[in-house]
Amino acid sequence: MTTITTIRIDHDTLPDPLSRKNPDAVAETIEAALHDNGITAEASDVISHIKIELPTAKLAAASAVLAGMRLI
């Protein structure tokens, strides 16, 4: 069984140029960046925030990617 971690990023905290994009496009961009770094994740727009679900074992690697994107 794989343990899943959820990361939530508030729309109001998105940096430029992501803050100007459609929230679904932001989720797709994040998911693609994680995938490009070997991290299987699902990102989606959930009204007030972007929700990212990924295996907990990949949390450190995902955090590095998201920090590089200035999301955390």
Does CATH place domain 4-68 in 3.30.70? yes
Q: What is the pLDDT of residue 17?
A: 86
Q: What is the pLDDT of residue 38?
A: 97
Write out pLDDT tens, residues 26-45: 999 999 999 999 999 999 99
Q: What is the pLDDT of residue 72?
A: 93
Q: At 54, which amino acid appears?
A: L
Q: Residues in the chain with pLDDT < 50? A: none
Under DSSP, the state recorded for 15 is P
Entry pTM: 0.92
Pairing label, strands 49-55, 4-10: antiparallel
Separation of alpha carbons 23 and 4, rounded Å = 22
Q: What is the pLDDT of residue 20?
A: 83
